[in-house]
Amino acid sequence: MTSQRTRERLIQRLYEEGLSNARVLEVIRSTPRHLFVDEALAHRAYEDTALPIGHNQTISQPYMVARMSELLLEAGPLDKVMEIGTGSGYQTAVLSQLVERVFSVERIKVLQDRAKERLVELNLRNVVFRWGDGWEGWPALAPYNGIIVTAVATDVPQALLDQLAPGGRLVIPVGSGEVQQLMLIIREENGFSRRVLGAVRFVPLLNGPLA
């Protein structure tokens, strides 16, 4: 089920669902998603669905990975992107092929350690990792041209807004329970513009690192 045909079927589906950034679609096509899930689930790796990765976390569905990546790149190339929620490392791997540098924060150390190994295996070496609280971001290396959050926050963390460069873009799911909305926030000259992009479903963005 990890054949090229299965991958092509996934790309066709994403295209039919309105995704049109050729570069993003090509990276989704060429990134081996089956390496980012447990072997028992590898046969489902190219379905357009989220899958469990342990620790009450999931690998995001390919549509959402592609959609959030498209939104980040909508205004052109980015050189410095922070990812909140390394998780399996799949979104990290996709981003690392689309932007110059990725700074990825994850609170669950065992997940991040596994993700690091996968990226080394794929020879993706433009990613720096931090084990820490996603609500805090990574202020020491701010500002960032783009920030992508792969878990739902009850509200937009002020720390992430503060770490966004002028003109920078933040893609984040916001809400609680069943009511979650994907948002695009852009740092303008006089504050922030916000676009609500529709209903989504993510695991919650929690405080505090876990070994």
Which residues are tagged catalytic?
60
Look up residue 204 and give its two tokens: 């919650």
Question: Cβ(91)–Cβ(60) under 8 Å?
Answer: yes
Calculate the dihedral angle through the C-alpha atoms of 156, 157, 160, 164, rounding to the nearest 10 degrees. 40
With b for 16 or more beta-carbon neighbours within 10 A and e for fewer, the 120-151 pattern comes to eebebeebebbbbbbbbbbeeebebbbbbbbb
Are 116 and 51 contacting, i.e. CB atoms less than 8 angstroms apart? no
Name the 3-class secondary structure at 139. helix
Both tokens of 193, joined, read: 């513009």
